[in-house]
């Protein structure tokens, strides 16, 4: 049995610290991941082409049993990669649908709460307005009755003053 090989870490390696700069970094990371997936798709196309070549080589009478094993191995690798890609896509679609539903529910809840608050504030304002209008009507009625009373008192004082002036003028004559 051969001795186990250990990998030596470089002592001059620097540690990288990841800093988050906001949503731009996330976009850059997603773009990089998409580019990597594109490269994977290109490799898958190459693998498909290799599989096609292997299929054609399998049809030749010279192909040996190891060629069949290699072709089967490559076919299983390609199938596994396709399945993994489908699972990844499904999980992305699922998480997107969940986050979309959560966002819509949050927005709907927020608007419902705001509408309830504004509705209660509006009804309170209308109640206050009705009370103030009733108070205004009471004050106007009180003012009208006091004004009528002042008019009658003024008229009676005018009459009294006129009578006093007439009597005084008669007494002076």
Map out the domains of the chain as residue ranges: 25-132
Lowest mean pLDDT among 53-67, 83-97, 109-123: 53-67
Rounded to the nearest 5 percent, the helix, strand and coil shares of the chain are: 85, 0, 15
As a whole number of angstroms, the distance between CA 167 and CA 160 comes to 11
pLDDT by residue (tens digit) across 40-71? 555 555 555 555 554 554 444 445 678 888 98
Contact by Cβ (8 Å): 54, 71 = yes
Q: What pLDDT does 66 receive?
A: 82
Q: What pLDDT does 47 receive?
A: 54
The enclosing H or E element of 58 equals helix 23-59
- Determine phi and psi for 39, rounding to 5 degrees: -65, -40
Buried b (16+ CB within 10 A) or exposed e, 87-115: eeeeeeeeeeeeeeeeeeeeeeeeeeeee
């Amino acid at each position: 049995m051969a001795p186990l090989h250990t990998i030596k870490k470089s002592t001059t390696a620097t540690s990288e610290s990841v800093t988050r700069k906001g949503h731009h970094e996330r976009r850059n990371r997603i773009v990089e991941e998409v580019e990597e997936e594109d490269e994977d798709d290109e490799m898958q196309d190459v693998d498909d082409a290799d599989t096609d070549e292997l299929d054609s080589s399998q049809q030749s009478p010279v192909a040996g049993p190891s060629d069949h094993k290699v072709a089967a191995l490559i076919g299983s690798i390609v199938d596994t990669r396709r399945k993994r890609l489908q699972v990844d896509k499904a999980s992305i679609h699922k998480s997107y649908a969940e986050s979309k539903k959560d966002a819509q529910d949050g927005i709907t809840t927020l608007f419902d709460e705001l509408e309830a608050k504004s509705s209660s504030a509006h009804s309170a304002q209308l109640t206050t307005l009705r009370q103030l209008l009733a108070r205004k009507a009471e004050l106007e009625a009180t003012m009208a009755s006091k004004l009528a009373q002042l008019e009658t008192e003024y008229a009676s004082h005018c009459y009294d003053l006129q009578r006093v002036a007439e009597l005084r003028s008669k007494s002076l004559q």
